[in-house]
Structure 1
Amino acid sequence: MLVRLLREHLRPYRGAVYAIVVLQLVQTMATLYLPSLNARIIDDGVAAGDTDEIMRLGGVMLAVSLLQVVCAIVAVYYGSRTAMGFGRDVRGRLFGHVQTFSAQEVGKFGAPTLITRTTNDVQQVQMVVLMTFTFMIMAPIMLVGGVIMALQEDVKLSAILVIAVPVLGIVVGLIVSRMVPYFRQMQKRIDAINRVMREQIAGVRVVRAFVREERESRRFGVANTELFTTSLRTGQLMALMFPVVMLVLNVTSVGVLWFGAHRVDNGMQIGALTAFLSYIAYILMAVMMSTMMFVMVPRAMVSSDRITEILDTSTTVLPPVKAVPLPTDARPGLLELRAVEFRYPGAEAAVLHDVDLVAEPGRTTAIIGSTGSGKTTLLNLVPRLFDVTDGSVLLDGVDVRDLDPEELWSQVGIVPQKPYLFSGTIRSNLEYGKPGASDEELWHALEVAQAKGFVEALAEGLDARITQGGTNVSGGQRQRLAIARVLVRRPHLYLFDDSFSALDYATDAALRRALVPETRDAAVLIVAQRVATIRHADSIIVLEEGAVVGVGTHTELLESNQTYQEIVYSQVSAEEAA
């Protein structure tokens, strides 16, 4: 998975990669040439007392050193740019792909792990890319080149490498193989930390209301300790690796000096021995650089698997192969559900079955039912947050699955059960419905949504700050701002999913009265738990266990439908209901 991810996302940087390889090759060759020059200075210059030769070779050494420095700087520069660009591209692709997910895929993974995979996991792979361009390209060149240069200096003494390199490789391999499971576990532990943190921050009011700070602290402490334990075990293995590498390096250097002393007695020059020591150090340094990569690659492999899992997941809500345009000769906003069924994957029973519904432009259609009857699920089928598993949902006579998603969403305005506001200002949140909307349009939408009063009371007005999720405004204010956002959009089909539940009765009634002229040419579909909200609807549909058990006006259902009667009388008296 790691190789595949690198191959796909480094393709736009092929020119930079080739340049980095060439620069690293030149840099490494210059590095390997320096000990040979140093040996010649010692043997041909210093030993012979030839000052001119020392100056000449010193000049060559200086030029080679400058070339090495320049190549190193340029290679690191291009390597850093390429690695950062790679990370940017992968994050962008992940974000764009997650945006195509339906509610089903988002629920399958969960928000915490999607955030971790887009940030921490991408960072792990990005670091490997950076280390590859900084060290890993150089390491094999230096390893092979060091062996060749060492053989040129003394073949017999090079026999030490036959023992040192395999020993180092086996030890490193054993340690790395133990680290891979811990890295996989570590990423899951980070997911758990994010999940607990997200729940505690989002549910802080519930935590404080039930005085459960201590319980939540313990829950976070468990997740934190588990991450600490896994990280500690990984760190212990990493801490073991470098002393082992240094031990092999030092033992090898001692061996070279021991056996090299005997070779000097047999005619080997001092400069050649010094150069040989340098090449041994380069060879083992190359192995050590590879060791650093071995530390990072296993975690990056785990991260790349997690990233690829997201990228390989296809949404269940697919755009049509050939989109069908909406008819231009019909009154827009007509919604029809025909024999609709929906069941979650793997579920034994359907959430909705045999649902028929018509919501006409200029009319308000309401849906009411007990908790769990499928009201919200039904509403989510219209903008294709889910797709029906049987039957069809039609907008202006066209199946929504055959419409271009952009065209479908441009026709529909939805206020979800839990309205969400984005960090920014009131203005930026309202313009989410219609980018570039004028102040007049924004204030008009706020007035209809019964939000103008509290916005005017704010010192900054439309430019008042909104925190993430709208947590700095009340639930009722959040609902009214969400309704205003949809009103600015002016769609042909309004979907209100229990969007008046946080409003008091007076505000609810005023808002519904103000909505009538605004939605005169659009279809309105309201899901509500409160009878007062929907009693004046043109048509009320009663859901029970995913099926339609009644259709009619408030008066008709109150006379003939037992389920509706039970809902009504649980909220108001018989006199008030009439």
Structure 2
Amino acid sequence: MSTDSDQKTSATPAKAPERPKYGPQRTHGPFGQGPGIEKSMTFWPSTRRLLGKLRPERLIIGLVMAMAVVGVALNVFGPKILGWATDVIFTGVIGKMLPAGGTKEQVVAQLRAAGQNTFADMVQRLDVVPGQGIDFTALSQILLFALAVYVVSSGFMLWQGYLLNGAVQRSVKTLRDEVEAKINRLPLSYFDKQPRGELLSRVTNDIDNVSQTLQQTLSQLLTSLLSVIGVVIMMFVVSPTLAVIALVTIPVSIVVTGLIAKQSQKKFVQNWKSTGELNAHIEEAFTGHSLVKVFGRQHEVEQVFADRNSELFRAGFGAQFISGIIMPAMMFIGNINYVIIAVVGGLRVASGTMNLGDVQAFIQYSRMFTQPLTQVASMANLLQSGVASAERVFEVLDSAEEDSELHGTLNPTKGRVQFEQVNFSYEPDKELITDLSLVAEPGQTVAIVGPTGAGKTTLVNLIMRFYELNSGRITLDGVDITSVPRSALRSNIGMVLQDTWLFHGTIKENIAYGRPTATDEEIHAAAEATYVDRFVHSLPDGYETVIDEEASNISSGEKQLITIARAFLADPALLILDEATSSVDTRTEVLVQHAMAALRTDRTSFVIAHRLSTIRDADVILVMEHGQIVEQGSHHELLAAEGHYFDLYNSQFAGEPEEVATEEPLVLAAKPARPF
């Protein structure tokens, strides 16, 4: 596409965009002022939709889950093995305490005869040999087995984490691609109403937060849930009584976590909303920093920043504090559970109804049981933050798009543009362009003049299909522009705007943006034809001079000439010049005028201008007022008619007698300017 940049207007679109199903709805005023209305979708639908982004990775996710099951199962089995080792040690200690030479049955009978029934029950449960100490051979075999189990478990967990990391990053990359593609499909009206800083925050900060959330929570959530299941099974295997006691903490934990999470989710949504609003204010204030200083509005800007920053502080503090309560609460519940299990288990060991190794294993299981619950609770703040960011990203993805692109191409055009009874309005109840018809013949230069708000820029926006018509049609060489893809239409149109746009790169690269396949010779030819070559040679690196992001190392006029060279290189059939000389000095304007004259040669051109001196040689001048063409003709014809154009012309040159005298002395003397 050969356009410089999408024309920005402050108008409201013709039809209010469809309310997104998800995300906040808000309005903004200058420097972020104005009311904000927040309506977020619920947590679980957001979570399901976010997890749905992982669907293309379902095979990898399935493998990850299988590996996690094996890894967690081995890890959960570890305490039982260590319980065996404890029993070996405990049995050896007890055996050393018993008199040697007899059997276990004889020793038990002696203990009962001595009235030591509890100790006798304990010896009866143990595989003890009276007088024999710890069996270090058996103990070493058990410990080596436990080590092997833990090593294999760690290997599985490490590998599943690696696979899951790749799946998450690919899914987030796809999400970024979707947002980028969505932005390219959104109509200009969306960007007219959306603060740039807010949109940038969604595309960068929020997607990064989603990535971090998925990365840190999915693996841990999976292993934590599997650990809870495995630990519960092993608890019932070891001791159903203690298992029932331990499971009492589950409903308590769920209720506590649910109550806290419900409050913190609102805070996280507000936190990321405030982040976007603060970014929008900073971007807006810094972009217009010079203007802020000129009008002495630093205090107001600083105050708005302070207010936005305070809102972000309150939302962030509230979100983190409330969600941060979850982990201490879970630890408190877990510690109570641990104490109860330790006391009951000790009593059962003393009574001889349980082995010490089983109690030791169960205490480990109680810690393993509460630990994943605590981890899940501690991830609640991160998960809620990520879901809140996902809502804001989904709002962009759910915004109303332009109509679907058609397939096909546009044949080379001669440049005949015809408006046929065109009607258009930004607001349904406020007409702007009504029943407009005009014809621009191939090779003609059509100038459009009129007061601010007359519809001049709207007219060219309709040609570019930045907005769609309410009724009527626009044809290019007899072809309805709505019947061809926008990309094909715009590739035949060159546009030079009042606000120049140059990207960070060399001058040569910026010129070549109009046609990336152009050779160096073609680039230099375009630069010479548009007078860029004159000032390029005065720069240290010539065409390889790097333009910074703000293009502050070249003048406004030089920037404008580069944009004209860009359009010249694209060689469009139709050219649109929108106030291309409004921000340059008189000397540079002369160069720009010559460059534009060269650019307009042999192509249909639409020129929007407030400086009437720049369009005297136009083939047709259209005078617009309130969205309608009130006059049209050549410069001399319109002056002779003494209508609206006459008034505009006189109002501009009444204070410049010398210049006017050389142009139209008799006309200016004949009739004073009327208010327009």
TM-score by length of 1: 0.95
Q: Deviations over 1:278-319 (max 9, x none)?
A: 111111112112213322232233222222222122323432
Q: What residue is the counterpart of 1:41 in the other structure?
A: 85
Gap change, CA 1:533 and 1:292, over 3 Å in 2: same
Match of 1:271 in 2: 357
Residue 21 of structure 1: aligned partner: 65
Counterpart of 2:414 (choices 302, 315, 332) is 332
- Tell whether 2:304 aligns with 1:219: yes
Following superposition, the deviation at residue 378 of structure 1 comes to: 1.0
> Which of 636, 641, 658 does residue 560 from structure 1 map onto?
641
Paired residue for 2:284, among 195, 199, 202?
199
Q: Which range moved further: 250-259 or 1-10?
A: 1-10
Residues 75-114 of structure 1 mapped to structure 2, 5 A cutoff: 75-114=160-199
Q: Is 1:550–1:557's contact at 8 Å kept on the other side of the alignment? A: yes
User: What amino acid maps onto 2:521 in structure 1?
Assistant: E
Letter in 1 for 2:78: L
CA distance in 1, matches of 2:335, 2:649: 86
Q: Greater relative contact order: 1 or 2 (C-alpha under 8 angstroms, separation 6 or more)?
A: 2
Contact kept, 8 Å, 1:420 with 1:469, in 2: the verdict is no
Asked whether 1:435 is paired with 2:507, we answer no
Equivalent-residue separation in structure 1 for 2:448 and 2:237 (angstroms)? 87
- Report if the CA contact (8 A) 2:424-2:432 is conserved: yes
More displaced stretch, 121-130 vs 420-429: 121-130
Aligned pairs for 1:468-487 (under 5 A) are 468-487=549-568
1:387 is the counterpart of 2:468: yes
1:342 and 2:420 are equivalent in the alignment: no
Q: Does 1:251 align with 2:295?
A: no
- What is the identity, as a one-letter code, of the residue corresponding to 2:577? F
Question: What residue number does 1:283 align with?
Answer: 369
Distance in 2 of aligned mates of 1:400 and 1:442:
30
The more displaced of 68-77 and 160-169 is 160-169
- CA positional deviation for 1:491: 0.6
Q: 1:316: which partner in 2?
A: 402
3-state DSSP class of the match of 2:319? helix
8 Å CA contact 1:186–1:231 kept in 2: the answer is yes
- Cα distance between partner residues in 1 of 2:363 and 2:60: 34
Distance across 1 between alignment mates of 2:429 and 2:48? 38
Is the partner of 1:358 in helix, strand or coil? strand
Check conservation: 1:569, 1:577, Cα contact below 8 A. no
How far did 1:327 drift?
4.7
Q: CA deviation at 1:88?
A: 1.4
Residue 276 of structure 1: CA displacement? 0.5
Q: Is the 8 A contact 1:365 1:524 kept in 2?
A: yes
Residue 393 (structure 2) aligns with = 307
| Shift of residue 576, structure 1, vs aligned partner | 5.2
The answer as to whether partners of 1:363 and 1:520 remain within 8 angstroms in 2 is no
The answer as to whether partners of 1:317 and 1:385 remain within 8 angstroms in 2 is no
Rounded to whole Å, the distance in 2 between the matches of 1:211 and 1:473 is 27
From the superposition, tell whether residues 516 and 108 of structure 1 become closer, same or farther in structure 2 (CA, over 3 Å).
closer
SS, match of residue 138 in structure 1: helix
Query: Matched residue of 1:318: which SS?
Result: coil
Q: Distance in 2 between matches of 1:36 and 1:190?
A: 49
Q: Distance in 1 between matches of 2:554 and 2:300?
A: 27
2:53 is aligned with 1:9: yes
* Bigger Cα displacement from structure 2, 155-164 vs 390-399: 155-164
Matched to 2:62, the amino acid is Y
Query: Structure 2 CA distance, aligned partners of 1:126 and 1:335?
Result: 48
Going from structure 1 to structure 2, the CA distance change for 1:506 and 1:355 (only over 3 Å counts) comes to farther
Write out per-residue CA displacement over residues 29-86 of structure 1, whole angstroms, 9 at most, x where no aligned residue: 1110000000011113552322221122112111111101111211221122222222
Give the gaps of 5 or more residues in structure 2: 1-44, 93-133, 655-659, 665-676
- The residue correspondences of 1:119-518 to structure 2 (distance < 5 A) are 119-267=204-352, 268-320=354-406, 323=408, 325-327=409-411, 332-344=414-426, 346-518=427-599
**1:270 aligned partner, one-letter code:** L
Q: How big is each residue's C-alpha offset from its partner over 1:159-210, in whole Å with a ceiling of 9 and x where there is no partner?
A: 2224322212111111100011111111110111111111122111112323
Q: How far did 1:232 drift?
A: 0.8
Does the 8 A contact of 2:319 with 2:381 survive in 1?
A: no
> Structure 1 residues 271, 77: CA separation in 2 closer, same or farther (over 3 Å shift)?
same
Name whichever of 39-48 and 66-75 sits farther off: 39-48
CA distance in 2, matches of 1:68, 1:339: 75
Task: Tell me the number of residue pairs that the alignment of Structure 1 and Structure 2 aligns.
Answer: 573
Which whole-Å CA distance do the structure 2 matches of 1:174 and 1:115 have between them?
33
The aligned counterpart of 2:600 is 519
Greater CA drift, 539-548 or 565-574: 565-574
Kept in 1, the 8 Å contact 2:446–2:619? The answer is yes
Contact 1:352/1:374 (8 A) holds in 2:
yes
Residue type of the alignment partner of 1:274 = Q
Given that 1:333 and 1:411 are in contact with CA atoms closer than 8 Å, whether structure 2 keeps it comes out as: no
- What residue in structure 2 maps to residue 546 of structure 1? 627
Cα distance change, pair 12–230 in 1 and its aligned pair in 2 (3 A): same
C-alpha change, 1:469 and 1:102, in structure 2 (3 Å) is farther
Q: What is the CA RMSD across the aligned residues, in angstroms?
A: 1.9
Instruction: Tell me the alpha carbon deviations over residues 368-409 of structure 1, each in whole angstroms, 9 at most, x when there is no partner.
Output: 010111111111111211112211111121111111222212
TM-score (norm 2): 0.81
Contact 1:147 1:283 in 2 (8 A): yes
Q: Which has the larger radius of gyration?
A: 2
Checking the alignment, whether the CA contact within 8 Å between 1:20 and 1:133 is kept in structure 2 is no
d(CA) in 1 for partners of 2:571, 2:550: 23
